[in-house]
Structure 1
Amino acid sequence: MSLPRIAVDAMGGDEGVRVMIEGAALARRRHDRFKFLLVGDETRIRAALENHPNLKGASEILHAPDVVSGEERPTQALRRAKTTSMGLAIDAVKQGKAGAAVSAGNTGALMAMSKLALRTMPGIDRPALAALIPTLGDNDLVMLDLGANTECDARNLVQFAIMGAAYARILHDLDQPRVRLLNIGTEETKGTDALRDASEQLRDASGDLAMSFDGFTEADKISRGDVDVVVTDGFSGNIALKAVEGAARFVGDLLKRSFASSLRSKIGFLISRPATELLRHHLDPNNHNGAVFLGLNGVIVKSHGSATALGVANAVAVAARLLEDDLTHRIAADLERVGEDAIRQPVVRRTAQKGEPA
């Protein structure tokens, strides 16, 4: 079965055309159903395609004269959306010329352009950035939001939970993803008003939602494998994600240093190489690449800027899977099932004035 075309921003990422085309070609070799719309400098794309005949026959090129730089502000990028490879890839989704778009470019610009072009789904106030984090369990963890919204109320968090659960059901074939809210403790009294309100609402609606919700989790437990979806605001989520990535790099660098410290250590490395290779594979971000902007009227996947061809291929595969299983329809169905009234407006707690009891 053929899938809708996937628009690839061929100019995005640290290495641009070469890696993006190699990644698309690898994805095509793995799945011959994939078709592509390659967006960017036509001359450079055609030159890169000469090395990948399998991709060339399954692709169309859309020329874009401009590129969004990594340092560019979202407001600046928005003004050039109609001429940049990123903007035209997103517009292809809006116009129905592609089913999804993949970019490794500027995250802020990608979010701003996507939100303006595609708008949020009915029942969703804000889109959220969701990504996969390796765990000790059988599946990667879905975590959101990871930077799209620095401040969130309870209503936002409940919507994120619904979207994250729908995403986890597609990626991991789960009937009831285990969903938790990220907090500073697991007790119901811990955390902000928004977290406690969101927990209460999710418990009340749990019978109508295809998820297993059981309150809070802490940052040191998110990789244990006993939860499938972790929900938080973009500020906390981005910090947690970078802490996890930093810890993974620390472990890798520490192992390299330890094994190189003496002849005995080097011999030990040779003996333990199968185990260290498994660890390296598990911690390699390219094997978990492909963050998704959930809540938009279209599928937009963000590849890591430093991703290799393998990472880009995995991001393309994520986009294809979400198209195949119709993510937006699943989210809409879950929102309809729980009902708008069940997702309450934020609770406004009045601060006591001077002289009044607190």
Structure 2
Amino acid sequence: MSSLFTPIEVGSTTIQNRIGMSALTRSRATTTVPNDIMKEYYVQRAKGGAGLIVTEGVLITRQGSEWPNAPGLWEKDQVDGWKEINDAVHEAGSKIYAQLWHLGRTSHPDAPEQIAAGTPVYAPSAIAARGGKFRLLPGEPGYVTPTEIPDPTVVINQFKQAAVNAKEAGFDGVEVHGANGYIVHQFLDSASNQRTDKWGGSPENRSRFALEVLKAVKEVFGLNVAIKLSPAGGFNDVGMPLQETIDTFGYLLTEADKLSLAYVTLSRYNPFLDIEFDGKKRATQHDVVETFTPFLKNTPIWVNSGVTPEEAEAYIKSGKVAGIFWGLNWLTHPDLGRRLKEGKLLDNAPNFMTLYGAPGVDPAIGYTDYKEAIY
């Protein structure tokens, strides 16, 4: 695993290795405010050898998430909570990016935070995503038909303000969540974006929102801006035919490559996230690294989703990618970096019953109680 443990420049920052911790929703915030157990969780993994930590998705404005207790970045108490976490992560030797997240059409109007926001569920077009499960709402309803965003620049400005708040909180950079069927991905996908203005239609127009978000947050963070994309799609009812996928994401990446980004994360096809509707899988299976590498001449590629340690070493040694993000393995192994370096087994099984916490259950269970390797 020698290639994994070489330092690398990420934006304007040097990190100690090529081992990243991917964003992973955990639902442990105090309503929307980061707290002490979240600090313990991130510090465990910083001490466990993560070169770069990307936070769980951080909501840029009050929204009715199906994941209760997701943290935000629009109020001072949230900024203060993240600052405590960031200071502790830095002291433990890691760098940390905030993943900026807007749900778009995957919010619910009856969720408490959406009611408190006093705004509709907004999306590129008034087209509902199939699926969804709001476990804490009566009847566990699914997704609803959203309201078309009248002016997408309003949401772009919310991304920028979240970046301003992230900088105040001491983050090293930000990663725009452009994957998994949330708002950036909804603009990119022709099934969820059927606008007839400059924000929809052609691949160029559907890519406009993502590119304008990147430009806006770069005004705040300069070189320390990244984006995560999942061109194989599937989750949250997105996915296009292969050629349309290549045309759309190829254009987006060609233009993003001109912006001096810290990195682009390409999320590989994941059968766990490939939802079936009417007897048909939703995703467009293809090798996202091989397909989209030619579109990036200047931007480092990081890859995630089901990468084995052996694959990771081969990826980096070949020069195809700059680094690897792991999600589930970091969830279950707070010392993942040390385990990889010393050849220890990845032998902690995930507790899916408490992945997102559970009412009346100690939030540490399935969160900060995974055992470290015996040395």
Class of the TM-score when normalised by the shorter of the 2 chains: under 0.3
Which has the larger Rg?
1
Higher relative contact order (CA 8 A, sep 6+): 1
Which one has a larger percent helix, Structure 1 or Structure 2? 1
TM-score by length of 1: 0.28
TM-score by length of 2: 0.27
